[in-house]
């Protein structure tokens, strides 16, 4: 399964590395204080922040994982994009961004501090910091192992070199450099994977040829002939589609709880919009990001579906290597496709696209980590502001830079732990991702119900998290062999697939968190005055300035309607 690279492939990679580091180098002189370094001076144009917004999400695990899921579930994987991202992105832009950006909070935990209290912020800041480091460690490990297995690169070398390049440009240019590079990386990912989509589709005879080849495969597995090329058609019952989840789980679990939890509250993503130059620009950021987001399935999921057809056609000689568990290693789908179709030259471009996706995800983690550490942990608990703004700015800049180095070192450490105890790391990541759904419940209530109190929010956050944990401990997905997948307390219920378990864990976390917060709000008293909550809560914030003089595409609502229409058309086309 080795892929041989030639000099031209390496040359392309080296040119890319030079530009990525060069951007950091050029931006270093603008990094005069913490504000410039950690918040990009709130100066990014909407289109730059919008592409960075989507690029951060397009990390290596996303690209590798979604192509693999395309091979496993077919077009149903697009649920993670159309229903599982677009509504949440529109909601974030239209309803939540005015309060996030208008509050002047520099991070999501800081918004919790302004809206609720210190303890709610502290809880969220610490959980978020741990989660970010874990996530970047795991993706770093995945990348290094891929490079070792497929390109024959030394594991330690690719780990350290990729980490040091990310460190180089984020240390030099902070969030600005991360964002600028994410835009560059976005284009490299799209252009690098484009020849693959084109060639693979041509090889299977286009979409129609692909449908014809997939029909017998679907039928052999007991599904309807067009299961792999449709999305909602067979979601009536869980058993009728390869995803193993019915429409309610998809709509409510994925489309509402999981996706709103991720897109509306994950600081890693939201931070890109915080860096926009104005409130109007910040509102446009998720919408501008949503446009490419809707088409990314054609770039990474469709090749995965083609891989399914290829692997069932002996004449093509396409086979996925086996994983340690014995089944095909779906994470390798994308790279095996690159090997199958791309000759030297564009092959280097494709590998560079994978490296770029890794770096955009990792830089996102690092720049979110250093901001939360500096503002929400260091500035709140270790060294508060002195009042001398200029000196503070310099001090926190230094702290932000040191946090960048430590964030990367911790990620490297967790990558090594993942290489020794991969299961434990996966487990921890599952656990920490449970924080998103309760966080959305609490932020949503805070923004739209002025009565919601700090004590209620804190307890709601904690209760949702703990109950989600308990649910994970009491249920197992079918076929699980380790307690890491669930059932580490007792086995009360077996889900047909792991995805169903994840959806229900999130649904429970969200419901519990909402219920507890609402009940406790009635039992506790609001300590914040209406004046303090101005700009943070819908009913206490003066209406937006009238933007009706702008052309429709300059207005958030105009863009939101455009995005919705495209998403609906795509959904109907691939129903």
- Report the nearest approach of another protein to the CB of residue 518 (Å): 45
Q: Which is nearer to another protein, 219 or 278 (CB)?
A: 278
DSSP codes joined into one string, 446-501: HHH-TT--HHHHHHHHHHHHHHHHHHHHHEEETT--SGGGS-SS---EEESSHHHH
By CB under 8 A, the residues from 168 to 227 that bind another protein are 176, 180, 183-184, 187, 191, 194-195, 199, 202-203
Neighbours of 397 (CB within 10 A): 20
Task: Determine contact, residues 505/529, Cβ cutoff 8 Å.
Answer: no
Q: Which is nearer to another protein, 176 or 475 (CB)?
A: 176
Q: Which residues contact 81 (CB under 8 A, 6 or more apart)?
A: 293, 294, 296, 297, 301
**Does residue 53 belong to the site contacting another protein (CB under 8 A)?**
no
Exactly one of 3, 5, 12, 214 binds another protein (CB under 8 A); which one?
12
Q: For residue 44, list its beta bridge partners.
A: 276
Q: Which is nearer to another protein, 291 or 377 (CB)?
A: 291
Task: Determine contact, residues 271/179, Cβ cutoff 8 Å.
Answer: no
Residue 74's closest CA among 292, 240, 309? 309
- Report the nearest approach of another protein to the CB of residue 272 (Å): 14
Binding segment for another protein among 12-20, 73-81, 110-118, 517-525 (CB under 8 A)? Answer: 12-20
- Report the nearest approach of another protein to the CB of residue 348 (Å): 9
Q: Which is nearer to another protein, 139 or 357 (CB)?
A: 357
Exactly one of 1, 4, 10, 15 binds another protein (CB under 8 A); which one?
15
**Does residue 10 belong to the site contacting another protein (CB under 8 A)?**
no
Exactly one of 54, 349, 372, 442 binds another protein (CB under 8 A); which one?
349
Q: Which is nearer to another protein, 227 or 352 (CB)?
A: 352
Which x/- pattern, by CB under 8 A, does the window 56-95 give for another protein? ----------------------------------------
DSSP codes joined into one string, 5-67: --HHHHHHHHHHHHHHHHHHHHHGGG--SHHHHHHGGG-B-HHHHHHHHHHHHS-HHHHHHHH
Q: Which is nearer to another protein, 129 or 346 (CB)?
A: 346
Q: Which is nearer to another protein, 186 or 427 (CB)?
A: 186
**Does residue 422 belong to the site contacting another protein (CB under 8 A)?**
no
Binding segment for another protein among 108-116, 325-333, 337-345, 517-525 (CB under 8 A)? Answer: 337-345
Task: Determine contact, residues 176/400, Cβ cutoff 8 Å.
Answer: no
Output the CA–CA distances (angstroms, integers) from residue 10 to 21, 242, 473, in the order listed: 17, 39, 47
**Does residue 489 belong to the site contacting another protein (CB under 8 A)?**
no
Exactly one of 343, 388, 424, 572 binds another protein (CB under 8 A); which one?
343
- Report the nearest approach of another protein to the CB of residue 344 (Å): 7
- Report the nearest approach of another protein to the CB of residue 506 (Å): 36
Binding segment for another protein among 15-23, 145-153, 266-274, 306-314 (CB under 8 A)? Answer: 15-23
Q: Which is nearer to another protein, 173 or 242 (CB)?
A: 173
By CB under 8 A, the residues from 29 to 48 that bind another protein are 30, 43, 48
- Helix, strand, coil percentages (3-state) for the chain, rounded to 5, are 80, 0, 20
- Report the nearest approach of another protein to the CB of residue 185 (Å): 10
Residue 508's closest CA among 442, 463, 443? 463
Four-CA torsion 31, 33, 38, 41, nearest 10 degrees: -80
Task: Determine contact, residues 342/194, Cβ cutoff 8 Å.
Answer: no
**Does residue 22 belong to the site contacting another protein (CB under 8 A)?**
yes
- Report the nearest approach of another protein to the CB of residue 51 (Å): 9
**Does residue 243 belong to the site contacting another protein (CB under 8 A)?**
no
Neighbours of 389 (CB within 10 A): 11
Four-CA torsion 537, 255, 269, 509, nearest 10 degrees: 70
Task: Determine contact, residues 464/438, Cβ cutoff 8 Å.
Answer: yes
Residue 284's closest CA among 83, 562, 568, 58? 562
- Report the nearest approach of another protein to the CB of residue 48 (Å): 6
| Per-residue three-class SS string for 119-135 | HHHHHHHHHHHHHHHHH
Q: Which residues bind another protein (CB under 8 A)?
A: 8, 11-12, 15-16, 19, 22-23, 26-27, 30, 43, 48, 176, 180, 183-184, 187, 191, 194-195, 199, 202-203, 340-346, 349
């Amino acid at each position: 399964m080795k892929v041989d690279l030639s000099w031209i492939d390496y040359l392309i990679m080296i040119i890319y590395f030079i530009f990525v580091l060069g951007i950091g180098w050029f931006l270093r002189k603008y990094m005069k204080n913490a504000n410039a370094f950690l918040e990009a001076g709130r100066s990014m144009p909407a289109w730059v922040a919008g592409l960075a917004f989507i690029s951060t999400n397009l990390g290596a695990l996303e690209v590798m994982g979604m192509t693999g899921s395309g091979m496993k579930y077919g077009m149903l994987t697009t649920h993670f994009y159309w229903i599982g991202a677009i509504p949440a992105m529109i909601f974030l832009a239209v309803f939540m961004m005015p309060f996030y950006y208008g509050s002047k909070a520099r991070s999501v935990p800081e918004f919790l501090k302004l809206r609720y209290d210190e303890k709610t912020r502290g809880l969220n800041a610490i959980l978020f910091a741990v989660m970010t480091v874990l996530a970047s460690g795991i993706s770093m490990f995945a990348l290094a192992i891929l490079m070792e297995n497929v390109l024959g690169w030394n594991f330690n070398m690719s780990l350290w070199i990729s980490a040091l390049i990310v460190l180089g440009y984020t240390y030099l240019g902070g969030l600005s450099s991360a964002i600028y590079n994410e835009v560059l990386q976005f284009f490299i990912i799209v252009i690098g994977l484009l020849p693959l989509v084109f060639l693979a589709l041509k090889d299977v005879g286009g979409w129609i040829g692909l449908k014809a080849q997939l029909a017998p495969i679907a039928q052999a597995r007991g599904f309807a002939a067009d299961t792999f090329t449709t999305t909602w058609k067979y979601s009536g019952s869980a058993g009728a589609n390869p995803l193993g989840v019915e429409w309610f789980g998809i709509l409510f679990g994925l489309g509402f709880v999981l996706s709103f939890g991720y897109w509306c509250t994950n600081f890693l993503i939201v931070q890109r919009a915080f860096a926009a130059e104005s409130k109007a620009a910040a509102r446009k950021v998720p919408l501008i990001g949503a446009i490419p987001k809707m088409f990314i399935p054609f770039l990474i999921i469709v090749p995965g579906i083609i891989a399914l057809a290829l692997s069932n056609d002996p004449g093509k000689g396409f086979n996925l290597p086996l994983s340690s568990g014995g089944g095909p290693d779906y994470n390798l789908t994308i790279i095996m496709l690159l090997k199958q179709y791309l000759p030297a030259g564009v092959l280097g471009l494709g590998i560079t696209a994978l490296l770029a996706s890794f770096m955009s995800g990792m830089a996102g983690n690092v720049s979110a980590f250093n901001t939360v550490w500096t503002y929400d942990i260091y500035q709140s608990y270790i060294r508060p502001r002195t009042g001398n703004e200029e000196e503070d700015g310099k001090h926190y800049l230094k702290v932000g830079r040191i946090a960048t180095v430590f964030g990367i070192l911790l990620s490297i450490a967790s990558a090594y732990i993942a290489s020794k105890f991969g299961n434990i790391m996966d487990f921890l990541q599952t656990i920490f991702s449970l924080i998103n759904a309760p966080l959305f419940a609490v932020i949503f209530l805070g923004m739209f119900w002025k009565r919601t109190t700090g004590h209620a929010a804190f307890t709601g956050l904690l209760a949702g998290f703990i109950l989600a944990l308990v649910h994970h401990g009491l249920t197992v997905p079918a076929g699980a062999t380790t307690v890491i997948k669930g059932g580490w307390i007792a086995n009360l219920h077996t889900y047909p697939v792991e995805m169903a378990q994840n959806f229900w864990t999130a649904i429970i976390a969200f419901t519990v968190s909402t219920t507890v917060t609402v009940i406790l709000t009635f039992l506790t008293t609001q300590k914040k005055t209406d004046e303090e909550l101005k700009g943070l809560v819908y009913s206490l914030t003066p209406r937006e300035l009238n933007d009706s003089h702008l052309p429709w595409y300059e207005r958030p609502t105009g863009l939101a309607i455009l995005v919705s229409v495209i998403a609906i058309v795509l959904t109907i086309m691939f129903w």
